[in-house]
Amino acid sequence: MKRTARQLADGREILYFDEHPDAPARTAADTRDLPPVAASSEIRLDPLTGEWVAMAAHRQTRTYKPPADLCPLCPSKPGKPSEIPEADYDVAVFENRFPSFSQNVSGQESTVDGNPLVPLAPGRGRCEVVCFTSDHDGSFARLSPRRVRTVVDVWADRTSGLSTVDGVEQVFPFENRGEEIGVTLHHPHGQIYGYPFVTPKTERMIEVARAYREEHGRAVLGDVLAAERKAGTRVIAEGDHWTAFVPPAARWPVHVQVVPHRQVPDIPALTDAERDDFAEVYLSVLRACDGLYDRPLPYIAAWHQAPVRRDRDLGWLHLELFSVLRSKDKLKYLAGSESGMAVWINDATPEQIAERLRRTVR
């Protein structure tokens, strides 16, 4: 893989990842007249839950559902410059123009209204956009195994890079797909957040993993994986190094976890063989998901990685994919129980979800 770093007109970094080492040099300049990025992110600690909440009011002006011929993630064309100056690309990564977290925020640690119960700090981190292909009408499910392997290598590169950024405590690669999820740009892409704290979900999983190891001497996800592989009831796809299954306490109408057979803290720790096998297994999962309702499935695909600086021995890398679509034309809304109390109520059992997905695996 060939990696080239360039700068956009406002000083943001853009990285090109070419599959062929003899790919043409990436020398195209960004001809747009852009103002400097003005991020005003801050984080505040909820005194009742102990969880950080990010405030990023500047994101109200971000790009919203542009027409296809003005897509900011497509390659630039004469008279139509985009976020990607080159006329074509394999995979491209650039700093988000409307970031939730940024290295360019100002301010100091403080409190809200002088109240020590509510600490406040700059939302210092980094947010990047990952474009999986230059094809505007493509999708991750239609990528070749080789391109998926390239994307995995890009995730590994950016996880390593963001882990060295000042203030970043956790690196989170993810993909949002579909308007039902809230996507405002239809070009196939994902994002990577470098959080200035360890996220609440990861904190909870670490707490459970620590308690389980102290009691049993083993990793909880390792035992879950072994049980799922033995039962097979909820397994969707399996390779030499990865297994995809519906979690036994699935929250969503479509919910799949893709787990490596070996405990590793993050994507950079994966071997070449594990990265290749992930591409095959994950593409099987995505094809099953798109075949479920005979339409592109809206989903969130979220990578769970260990924190950057602590508890890495408790982390077990895995990908979680879930969807709000509970039938071809019906959505699962997060109503009172889910949104108000975080108590999930699923309209289908995990076994039913797995059976439906297995029928469409090909």
For residue 325, give the nearest of 289, 360, 354 by alpha carbon. 289
Mean pLDDT of all residues in 220-241: 98
- CA atoms of 122 and 313, how far apart (whole Å): 29
| The pLDDT of residue 62 is above 80 | no
| The pLDDT of residue 280 is above 70 | yes
Sorting pLDDT into bands at 50, 70 and 90, what band is 65?
low
- CA atoms of 27 and 14, how far apart (whole Å): 12
Sorting pLDDT into bands at 50, 70 and 90, what band is 66?
confident
- CA atoms of 176 and 187, how far apart (whole Å): 11
For residue 180, give the nearest of 336, 62, 295 by alpha carbon. 295
Do residues 258 and 318 lie in contact, with contact meaning Cβ atoms separated by under 8 Å? yes
Domains detected in the chain:
2-197 (3.30.428.10), 201-360 (3.30.428.10)
Specify the pTM: 0.95
Q: pLDDT tens-digit profile of 45-56?
A: 999 999 999 998
Which pLDDT value is given to residue 63?
Answer: 65
Do residues 155 and 216 lie in contact, with contact meaning Cβ atoms separated by under 8 Å? no
Q: Report the chain's mean pLDDT, rounded to a whole number.
A: 94
For residue 19, count other CB atoms closer than 10 A to its CB.
15
Which pLDDT value is given to residue 139?
Answer: 96
- CA atoms of 20 and 2, how far apart (whole Å): 7
Sorting pLDDT into bands at 50, 70 and 90, what band is 61?
low
Which pLDDT value is given to residue 121?
Answer: 95
Tokens of 141: 């499910």
Q: Which of 11-15, 37-41, 349-353 has the lowest mean pLDDT?
A: 37-41
For residue 296, give the nearest of 262, 264, 325, 267 by alpha carbon. 325
Which pLDDT value is given to residue 183?
Answer: 87
- Residues in the chain, overall count: 362
- CA atoms of 22 and 146, how far apart (whole Å): 17
Amino acid at 37: V
Do residues 170 and 18 lie in contact, with contact meaning Cβ atoms separated by under 8 Å? no
For residue 53, count other CB atoms closer than 10 A to its CB.
11
| The pLDDT of residue 113 is above 70 | yes
CB contact set of 242 (below 8 Å; sequence gap of 6+): 258, 259, 260, 261, 274, 277, 278, 281, 282
Name the residue with tokens 């590994």.
156
**Cα maximum dimension of the chain:** 64
Do residues 282 and 260 lie in contact, with contact meaning Cβ atoms separated by under 8 Å? no
Do residues 299 and 322 lie in contact, with contact meaning Cβ atoms separated by under 8 Å? yes
Using only the alpha carbons of the chain, give its radius of gyration: 21
Mean pLDDT of all residues in 8-14: 96
- CA atoms of 330 and 289, how far apart (whole Å): 15
CA quadruple 206, 211, 217, 223: dihedral sign: negative
Share of the chain above pLDDT 90, in %: 85
- DSSP per residue over 303-330, as a string? EE---SSS-TTT---EEEEEESEEETTE
Sorting pLDDT into bands at 50, 70 and 90, what band is 60?
low
Mean pLDDT of all residues in 114-143: 96
Share of the chain above pLDDT 70, in %: 98
- CA atoms of 325 and 345, how far apart (whole Å): 14
DSSP state of 68: G
- CA atoms of 146 and 106, how far apart (whole Å): 41
Q: Which residues are part of the catalytic machinery?
A: 189
Tokens of 28: 């195209």
